[in-house]
Amino acid sequence: MSMTTPIVDFVQNYAKSGTSRLHMPGHKGQALLGFEGLDITEIRGADELYEADGIIAQSEANATRLFGTAHTYYSTEGSSQCIRAMLCLAMQAAPAGQRPVLLAARNAHKALLYAAALLDLDIQWLWPAPDAAGALCSCPVTEAQLAAALDRLAGQGRTPFGVYLTSPDYLGGMQDIAALAKVCDAHGVPLLVDNAHGAYLNFLVGGSRHPIALGAAMCCDSGHKTLPVLTGGAYLHLGPKAPVQEETAVRNALALFGSTSPSYLILQSLDRCNRYLSEGYPLRLYSCCGQLARMRRVLNEQAAAAGCPLPLAVDAPAREPLKLTLDAAALGMTGTALAEALRQDRIECEYADPRYVVLMFTPENPAQDYERLEAAVARLCAALPSAPALPEPEADVFTELAAEAAPVCTVRQAVFAPQEVVPAETALGRVCAMPTVSCPPAIPIVVSGERIGPAALKLFARYGIKNVAVLK
Ligand SMILES: Cc1ncc(COP(=O)(O)O)c(C=O)c1O
């Protein structure tokens, strides 16, 4: 029997019913853009997202079965909302009496910082090891490093209310969630994962690589990033180890950070996605991962034949299979120049920085997208004047950054304090107010409340950051 779509069915029946819409929204179902007929509010029978016991609860139950979680909740406001709710719940479960502290890998999206400001929590950072080459974007955490950090905090009498990891990261790197979950279990601390980029990981044919399947207590997934879900559609997943299981508590935590008018277009999209996932998706995903593995091989062969000194497509078994990350240095280019060259061939990337270009594929991409990319890279390789030189090794600014990053006030104090925006190159010694100074999208170089040091200034220049909000 095919999977039910109770939200889609309800809204479609309502749209066909010809009922006079004497309720919000103001468009009354009349088409300006074309989809207004399906955009409703919480009328009778439509259930309520934050007190669900009808069609939304039924649809979430379908998602819960599909993801194999203890309970999956919908969000219409992205992983950002789920991250806030997840931290709020973990904080509620922690023993009272001490300032809440979270142990988090430093490659966190700024949504974590916004949550820290709203929830007034402290963060102890896990930094990439000096030999873990690469930018802040990838912050591989080892079991030993995590255990040592947890022991150190325990020694200070500060048990963190959670360990927070971002995996997959923006460049496609993944943490060893299964191993790190065991360390968290041994220390009695819940593992919370920002899995915004990995909703599809539960459906891999070789076995789930989803954080809940690997032992995390809770995680968020942006359905909209890798599944055919409208922008804003996301999941908050609770595993059996989530420290709060009570449904009302979870819905209240989500409601605290959400609008009272959740989008029914997004809810229908999440609902319809359940059927999509249940109808042959794993095989389509398998085929897509296979095509991408082949594409990485082909691009690297093309680049090697053109004399490129490095592999063009970043490749390793532990990486996230749907991201195609190109190392533009292989072609003697910057990531932004490579992205511009691809744009000329009508290929729009997800992200580009001085070194990398990230391309995101799903089973929805037509064959033409693969063909275009292969042809574009072949043209770039053919046009190389001579074999590019190996890029100069980048100075390890991140170790310097880790050494200089010390908070002078809490994230909340910094975010809510009087502030001003100054040119980045004049910000030395000032205290960062807003975490909008990002290297790979939205990963703060300096966190609110930290004093801006020389390493941060170098990274502002590297990532083209022009202005910084600092405390007055
Ligand atoms: C790693 C990571 N976490 C969280 C978010 C926030 O997700 P959303 O846009 O669904 O709110 C993003 C968005 O890009 C992200 O890249």
Question: Ligand 1: which of 80, 139, 436 to mutate, judged by most atoms within 8 Å of the beta carbon?
Answer: 80
Identify whether residues 408 and 337 lie together within a single domain.
no
Identify whether residues 173 and 268 lie together within a single domain.
yes
Identify whether residues 27 and 97 lie together within a single domain.
yes
Give the residue whose CA is nearest to atom 7 of ligand 1: 79
- The verdict on the CB of residue 138 being under 6 Å from ligand 1 is no
For the chain, give the mean pLDDT: 94
Domain boundary among 382, 412, 447: 382
Q: Is residue 92, in this structure, part of any structural domain at all?
A: yes
Domain that holds residue 450: 397-471
- The verdict on the CB of residue 234 being under 6 Å from ligand 1 is yes
Identify whether residues 424 and 287 lie together within a single domain.
no
pLDDT, tens digit (0-9, with 9 covering 90-100), for 265-298: 999 999 999 999 999 999 999 999 999 999 999 9
Q: Is residue 389, in this structure, part of any structural domain at all?
A: no
**Nearest to 228, CA basis, from 288, 162, 295:** 288
Identify whether residues 194 and 86 lie together within a single domain.
yes
Q: Is residue 388, in this structure, part of any structural domain at all?
A: no
CA 79 to centroid of ligand 1, rounded, Å: 6
Query: What pLDDT is attached to residue 128?
Result: 81
Residues 6+ apart with CB under 8 A from 23: 41, 43
C-alpha to C-alpha distance for 146 and 148, rounded to whole angstroms: 5
pLDDT, tens digit (0-9, with 9 covering 90-100), for 426-445: 999 999 999 877 776 668 88
Identify whether residues 128 and 185 lie together within a single domain.
yes
First CA to last CA distance, the chain: 62
Q: Is residue 66, in this structure, part of any structural domain at all?
A: yes
Q: Is residue 168, in this structure, part of any structural domain at all?
A: yes
Identify whether residues 135 and 175 lie together within a single domain.
yes
CA 225 to centroid of ligand 1, rounded, Å: 8
In CATH, what number is assigned to the domain containing residue 199?
3.40.640.10
Closest atom of ligand 1 relative to the 168 alpha carbon: 1
Q: Is residue 80, in this structure, part of any structural domain at all?
A: yes
- The verdict on the CB of residue 194 being under 6 Å from ligand 1 is yes
Identify whether residues 296 and 239 lie together within a single domain.
no
C-alpha to C-alpha distance for 299 and 101, rounded to whole angstroms: 45
pLDDT, tens digit (0-9, with 9 covering 90-100), for 102-151: 999 999 999 999 999 999 999 999 988 766 655 567 788 999 999 999 99
Identify whether residues 360 and 298 lie together within a single domain.
yes
3-state secondary structure at position 240: coil
Closest atom of ligand 1 relative to the 225 alpha carbon: 10
pLDDT, tens digit (0-9, with 9 covering 90-100), for 306-361: 999 999 999 988 899 999 999 999 999 999 999 999 999 999 999 998 899 999 99
CA 383 to centroid of ligand 1, rounded, Å: 37
In CATH, what number is assigned to the domain containing residue 310?
3.90.1150.10
Identify whether residues 12 and 78 lie together within a single domain.
yes
Count of structural domains, the chain: 3
Amino acid letter, residue 86: M
CA 463 to centroid of ligand 1, rounded, Å: 19
Domain boundary among 358, 382, 406: 382
Identify whether residues 48 and 69 lie together within a single domain.
yes
Dump the DSSP string for 318-382: TS-TTEEEEEGGGGT--HHHHHHHHHHTT---SEE-SSEEEEE--TTS-HHHHHHHHHHHHHHHH
Closest atom of ligand 1 relative to the 169 alpha carbon: 1
- What are the structure tokens assigned to 136, written together? 């802040």
- The verdict on the CB of residue 5 being under 6 Å from ligand 1 is no
Q: Is residue 387, in this structure, part of any structural domain at all?
A: no
pLDDT, tens digit (0-9, with 9 covering 90-100), for 359-382: 999 999 999 999 999 999 999 999
- The verdict on the CB of residue 79 being under 6 Å from ligand 1 is yes
Identify whether residues 254 and 188 lie together within a single domain.
yes
Closest atom of ligand 1 relative to the 77 alpha carbon: 11
Domain boundary among 278, 304, 323: 278
Q: Is residue 270, in this structure, part of any structural domain at all?
A: yes
- The verdict on the CB of residue 137 being under 6 Å from ligand 1 is no
